[in-house]
């Protein structure tokens, strides 16, 4: 099943915005990406637990397989697809790991019958109904994450745009943050 078959399915997108200092250590960007990634992974694990509670007629082995597969997909829960400058902005889609794994796991078992089944329709309705709550949960997890010392503030908000729900994370670094200079800057200071 590809994305074009379900144009009504919304996506959660994450924007990481970096403001404040003109330049700052790469660790701040890496820390933000890791915080967002861990937050999506945590929300996906919670979603698998919720699916298991909501659908007790699905064998427990299916959810065990989903958890195992999810652990193998660690660090793949955000697909970065946009970068822009000005204030540095990185953006990407949060992967729908729980839905994808359930679709894949039950789809392997039930083959064609899965896509036409009542269970498939109920799972899809359940996940779509919880879409906003999932985005809010990811945002909450991001806000509670540990951040590098050079970060002044982290603000997180959600915003709907068309079929997308954006989680906008703004990372503020101190304007007076002094990065370690590159070799050419050190050499140019000596020549001056």
Mean pLDDT, to the nearest integer, of 146-154?
Answer: 79
Inside any domain, residue 73: yes
Per DSSP bridges, beta strands 153-161 and 164-172 are antiparallel
pLDDT in tens, 62-77: 899 999 988 888 788 8
Inside any domain, residue 1: no
What is the extent of the structural domain holding 169?
9-191
Inside any domain, residue 3: no
Backbone angles phi, psi at 12, to 5 degrees: -100, 125
Confidence of residue 158 (pLDDT cuts 50, 70, 90): very high
Domain count, the chain: 1
Which residue, chain included where needed, has tokens 């101190």? 174
Q: Is the pTM of this model over 0.85?
A: no
Q: What is the pLDDT of residue 177?
A: 67
């Amino acid at each position: 099943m590809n994305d074009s078959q379900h144009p009504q399915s919304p996506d959660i997108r994450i924007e990481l915005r970096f403001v404040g200092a003109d330049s700052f250590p790469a660790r701040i960007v890496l820390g933000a990406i890791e915080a967002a990634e861990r937050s999506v992974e945590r929300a996906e694990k919670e979603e698998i637990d919720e699916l298991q509670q909501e659908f007790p007629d699905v064998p427990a082995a299916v959810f065990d397989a989903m958890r195992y597969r999810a652990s193998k997909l660690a660090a793949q829960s955000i697909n970065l697809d946009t970068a822009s400058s000005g204030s540095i902005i990185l953006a990407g889609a949060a992967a729908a790991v729980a839905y994808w794994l359930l679709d894949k796991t039950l789809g392997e078992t039930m083959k064609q019958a899965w896509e036409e089944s009542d269970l498939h329709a109920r799972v899809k309705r359940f996940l779509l109904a919880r879409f906003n709550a999932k985005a809010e949960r990811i945002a909450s997890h991001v806000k509670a994450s540990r951040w590098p010392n050079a970060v002044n503030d982290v603000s997180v908000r959600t915003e709907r745009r068309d079929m997308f729900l954006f989680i906008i994370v703004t990372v503020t670094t101190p304007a007076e943050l002094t990065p370690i200079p590159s070799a050419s800057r050190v050499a140019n200071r000596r020549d001056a």
